[in-house]
Amino acid sequence: MHNRVVQVALPLPARRTFDYQLRREHPAVREGSRVRVPLQRREVTGMVIGAATISSVPPGKLKSVSVVLDAEPSIPSTLLKFLKWAADYYHHPIGEVIRAALPTTMRSTRGIQPRLPTRYSLTSAGRAALRTLSKQAIRQRRVLGALAEAGDGGLSLDALTNSIARPTSTLKLLQGRGWIEMYQNAEDFLLTAAKKAGPALNQSQRRAVREIGAELSRYVPFLLQGVTGSGKTEIYLKAAASVVASGRQALVLVPEIALTPQLLARFQEGLGGTLAVIHSGLTDRERHIAWWAARQGLADVVVGTRSAVFTPLARPGLYIVDEEHDASYKQQDGFRYNARDLIVKRAQQDGVPVILGSATPSLESMENVRQGRYRQLLLRQRVRGAAMPKFQLLDLGRLPVTSGMTPPMLAALRLRLDRGEQSIVYVNRRGFAPVVLCSTCRWQARCDRCDVHLTLHRRSERLRCHHCGASRDPPEQCPKCGQSTLHPVGEGTQRVEDTLQKVLPGVRILRLDSDNTGNAADLATDLARVRQGTIDVLVGTQLVAKGHDFPAVTLVCILNADSGLYSVDFRAAERLYQQLTQVAGRAGRAERPGQVLVQTRHPENVSLFRLARHDYNGFVTAELDQRRLAFCPPFIRFALLRAESLRPAVSLEFVSVAARVGHRRLAGQPSQAVRLMDPVPSPMERKAGRYRAQLLVTSHAHTPLHRFLDDWLCDLEGLKSGRSVRWSLDVDPMEMY
């Protein structure tokens, strides 16, 4: 870059870059290098993302870069190009996109290379010294002895500290004498995976592996649609292993690390390479090391959650997304990206294949298969000849109910208990009861700050709001009529647990919901207990559904399937189907066949009928037809403008002004390519004390929508009414509130 004026992206909510000039003494700077620059009275770290040929700032006013932090670009140019694309697509400020993509440590002046774990090893002089050193030099002998025993690789500082208390001064002394060497590398941090063969693949698995293997050197998006227990992990592993064998790297996205121990375990024993795992339990420094190891090409495979989509790779070779339909790939605040969608773009830019895997792929991906954009790989059968679980619908309208459970459900649970088999009870609400109601005057406990009911929690005896976290003591008497006629209504996980304890004496229950699971380690311990068989019944929310492979589970009970059946959210049916398939898929994965009991008030519902017949494709066809008729994604593009404020009218006023401005923009255009819906209060208008309103923008195609958004956002940034609200734009929103 010859030009001495550079465009810098700063972590600010501004949809623009900032020009700075380089002084003579500054080294040459390339795109992707970080710089420190003055901003008002502060200094901030930004990234050079281009050269400014003509600056809009008059030369005399142009400020200088204070320090060039990186002599080389901190991220590969391909990744920078990808981030620019993402900023463009989501209409989000590039500086904030870059901030989301870099390790937190690099927001400061820290170098690209993190502080690495320290190792020590013995020199030949040290080996000789160990033989002659006086017996009195106990600490020195201890250190040298331990290192001699450890051999060539030496020992990490952590390992040394475990055998010798506070070894630092001794280490310094030995180092000074040239008896030991200190070095730093990322290896201690990476997992080194063996190359164990694993099960022999069945025919469909082999075909899938062969098809992927034939396309490793160009962009091909694969949709791996395999029923639950069909062995998708083995396919990811084989594909990743051959990419690694050819000297390249793979990036694997999973919904949540703690919930995918089997995938990690399988990669650790079968990959034959090094593995970096990026998860929420890492410290900033550890995260930086993983990032760096990927960037340097030291990690052959990176496994991580949503934000790992931005991990730099030295030699990208393959991208994989497990459970591609999972909602957790969508970031719901700030930079609202969808990692599943982004990774496909990244694969395309890098010219490498991408595998999206799921038992129930998103309707977006299914439509991409129909349009010939994605190549479908099907696994129709479970491995080892295991049968698909048998579904039975139980009519809540006709059967008597005890704490949400019908007699056939309780009988089925009792039968499993007698046979020594395990069961899962899926309840979509945590807490004891979702509503507290006065039977005299119909008063209900509601949150003061949100438009929702408060949930009763029995363990803590509190009423809690699941949206803002507020909590209070449950009243003794009804605050409205004063009677002692308050009753908990409906079932949460705690109530189901209590009831099962009563009706199945001696049953060993594990309740799994976000109230009850602390950190990732606790969760892993809990899941291990289930596998060991010291648990009879697992009761929980979505946490029980995710990819677990518990061979002894033969029964899955779904307490209530109705929440998603007749909802205003156009994705509700899809999400319900995916959730229920996933939880049902935990049943009968080994020799013993699985049964799934689904309680509903709508046993005639056609989606439930298809679910029970394992007819996802039938469901998809019908659902896509409906989406087309209703002008919904994937046929129509959505962007949602949201606003919130402490005063009720203000946010609605802002989106109304935004709508007027938008209509004016559109009036000049000939076609009806972009449409603005009516500005409305959000479905749940009040949340955490803020009033929310929204405006939906739709278009039949990508290009006109994005052209409109570009202009419109400029308008909105200039609006005075925008200053009294918090507003944001969500491109391809997942939640419509």
Nearer to ligand ADP (CB atom), residue 359 or residue 500: 359
Residue 478 interacts with which of ligand ADP, Zn ion, none, CB < 5 to 8 Å by class = Zn ion
CB of 476 to Zn ion, least distance (A): 12
CB of 548 to ligand ADP, least distance (A): 9
Query: What character string, x for contact with Zn ion (CB under 5 A) and - otherwise, covers 336-355?
Result: --------------------
Contact 659, 695 (CB under 8 A): yes
- 526, amino acid identity: D
Residue 234 interacts with which of ligand ADP, Zn ion, none, CB < 5 to 8 Å by class = ligand ADP
Which one of 3, 121, 348, 440 is in contact with Zn ion (CB under 5 A)?
A: 440
Contact 501, 443 (CB under 8 A): no
In this chain, which residue has its C-beta nearest to ligand ADP?
Answer: 231
Nearer to Zn ion (CB atom), residue 28 or residue 684: 684
Contact 446, 454 (CB under 8 A): yes
Q: Binding of Zn ion at residue 175 (CB under 5 A)?
A: no
Residue 229 interacts with which of Zn ion, ligand ADP, none, CB < 5 to 8 Å by class = ligand ADP
Q: What is the DSSP string of 367-412?
A: HHHHTTSSEEEEE-S-GGGPPPPEEEEEETTTS--BTTB-HHHHHH
Residue 428 interacts with which of ligand ADP, Zn ion, none, CB < 5 to 8 Å by class = none
Sort residue 247 into left (φ over 0), alpha (ψ -120 to 50) or beta.
Answer: left
* CB < 8 Å & 24+ apart, contacts of 50-56: 50/6, 50/7, 50/17, 51/1, 51/2, 51/3, 51/5, 51/6, 51/7, 52/3, 52/5, 52/6, 52/7, 52/19, 53/3, 55/5, 55/19, 56/19
CB of 405 to ligand ADP, least distance (A): 27
Do β-strands 118-122 and 155-156 pair in parallel, antiparallel, or remain unpaired? antiparallel
Which one of 441, 489, 503, 636 is in contact with Zn ion (CB under 5 A)?
A: 441
* Gap between the Cα atoms of 53 and 49, Å rounded: 13
> Which H helix or E strand runs over 188?
none
* Gap between the Cα atoms of 46 and 107, Å rounded: 8
Nearer to ligand ADP (CB atom), residue 445 or residue 523: 523
CB of 687 to Zn ion, least distance (A): 7
CB of 280 to ligand ADP, least distance (A): 22
CB of 392 to ligand ADP, least distance (A): 22
Of residues 449-508, those binding Zn ion (CB under 5 A): 449-450, 465, 467-468, 470, 478, 480-481
Nearer to ligand ADP (CB atom), residue 198 or residue 474: 198
Nearer to Zn ion (CB atom), residue 609 or residue 737: 737
Q: Where are the alpha helices (DSSP H) in 533-614?
A: 572-584, 606-612
Q: Binding of Zn ion at residue 194 (CB under 5 A)?
A: no
Residue 233 interacts with which of ligand ADP, Zn ion, none, CB < 5 to 8 Å by class = ligand ADP
Residue 621 interacts with which of Zn ion, ligand ADP, none, CB < 5 to 8 Å by class = none
Nearer to Zn ion (CB atom), residue 448 or residue 591: 448
In terms of Cα–Cα distance, which of 128, 281, 268, 283 is closest to 193? 268
Nearer to ligand ADP (CB atom), residue 296 or residue 376: 376
Residue 202 interacts with which of ligand ADP, Zn ion, none, CB < 5 to 8 Å by class = ligand ADP
Nearer to Zn ion (CB atom), residue 287 or residue 430: 430
Neighbours of 54 (CB within 10 A): 6
Residue 384 interacts with which of Zn ion, ligand ADP, none, CB < 5 to 8 Å by class = ligand ADP
Q: Give the count of alpha carbons within 13 A of 108, CB side only.
A: 8
CB of 358 to ligand ADP, least distance (A): 9
Q: 446: which DSSP letter? A: B
Q: Which residues partner with 388 through β-bridges?
A: none
Residue 39 interacts with which of Zn ion, ligand ADP, none, CB < 5 to 8 Å by class = none
Nearer to ligand ADP (CB atom), residue 13 or residue 199: 199
Do β-strands 637-645 and 375-379 pair in parallel, antiparallel, or remain unpaired? unpaired
* Gap between the Cα atoms of 280 and 546, Å rounded: 17
* Gap between the Cα atoms of 391 and 650, Å rounded: 50
CB of 438 to Zn ion, least distance (A): 3
Residues contributing to the site for ligand ADP (CB under 6 A): 199-202, 205, 226, 228-234, 262, 383-384, 549
CB of 482 to Zn ion, least distance (A): 7
CB of 236 to ligand ADP, least distance (A): 8
Nearer to Zn ion (CB atom), residue 47 or residue 478: 478
* Gap between the Cα atoms of 52 and 4, Å rounded: 8
Q: Binding of Zn ion at residue 174 (CB under 5 A)?
A: no
Nearer to ligand ADP (CB atom), residue 62 or residue 378: 378
Strand order in the sheet with 42-51: 18-21, 5-9, 42-51, 34-39, 67-68
Tokens of 92: 């989000």
Residues at the interface with Zn ion (CB under 5 A): 438, 440-441, 443, 447, 449-450, 465, 467-468, 470, 478, 480-481
